[in-house]
């Protein structure tokens, strides 16, 4: 048999989803911290978006300063998620090598990391969006500038989507690094 006779096959998506859930269970504490980092970044983002729903003089910050603060918090959140995913790749060298030796393709490895990031992003973003919007809406209500319900629900939905996109973007580099790992070299690594 020649090398061309062998072909890597991708298991069904449910297997990639199961791998991602198993990884989150095994590394629960770090994934929880990562998810809380996403939640804090998105909570700040959504609180600033909710603040914009109020009257123009509701804040002493200029729009440029608010955008700078929002951008900085989202970039810091992005770096935190990327770091967590890179650590996950480093810890899983042997696991990734074993999966690749069993015939999984590079795209399967990428799918596992994207599912992981998507789940972390959804949980962290939804939590952060709900908390940030609710706290700012409560604060605005106490000061007499209560926002309407429909725009605040839009802020929660938009914040959740922004957080999920951000975590998936943060997972690109670690997922590509994991997929390009040679299987034999990954099995020899001692961590």
- Is the pLDDT assigned to residue 7 strictly greater than 60? yes
- The neighbour count for residue 134, using CB atoms within 10 Å, is 16
Report how many helices (DSSP H) and strands (DSSP E) the chain contains, helices first.
Answer: 8, 0
Which helix (H) or strand (E) segment holds residue 150: the answer is: helix 149-170
- 136-152 pLDDT, tens digit per residue, is 989 888 888 788 888 88
pLDDT tens by residue, 41-93 = 999 999 888 888 777 665 666 778 888 888 888 888 888 888 888 888 888 88
Q: Which of 82, 54, 48, 52 has the alpha carbon at shortest distance from 68?
A: 48
**How confident is the model over 50-62, as pLDDT tens digits?**
888 777 665 666 7
Structural domain spans, the chain: 12-52+67-184
178, pLDDT greater than 90: no
The reported pTM is: 0.83
């Amino acid at each position: 048999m020649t090398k061309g006779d062998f072909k890597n096959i991708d298991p069904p998506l449910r297997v990639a989803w199961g791998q991602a859930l198993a990884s989150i269970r095994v590394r629960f504490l770090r994934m929880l911290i990562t998810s809380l980092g996403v939640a804090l970044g998105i909570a700040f983002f959504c609180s600033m978006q909710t603040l914009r729903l109020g009257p123009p003089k509701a804040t002493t910050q200029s729009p440029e300063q608010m955008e700078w603060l929002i951008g900085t918090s989202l970039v810091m959140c992005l770096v935190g998620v990327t770091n967590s995913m890179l650590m996950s790749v480093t810890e899983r060298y042997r696991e990734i090598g074993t999966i690749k030796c069993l015939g999984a393709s590079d795209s399967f490895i990428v799918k596992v990391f994207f599912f992981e990031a998507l789940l972390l992003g959804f949980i962290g973003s939804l939590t952060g969006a709900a908390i940030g919007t609710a706290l700012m809406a409560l604060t605005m209500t106490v000061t007499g500038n209560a926002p309407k319900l429909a725009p605040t629900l839009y802020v929660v939905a938009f914040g959740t989507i922004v957080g999920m996109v951000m975590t998936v973007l943060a997972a690109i580099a670690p997922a590509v690094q994991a997929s390009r790992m040679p299987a034999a070299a990954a099995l020899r690594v001692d961590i």
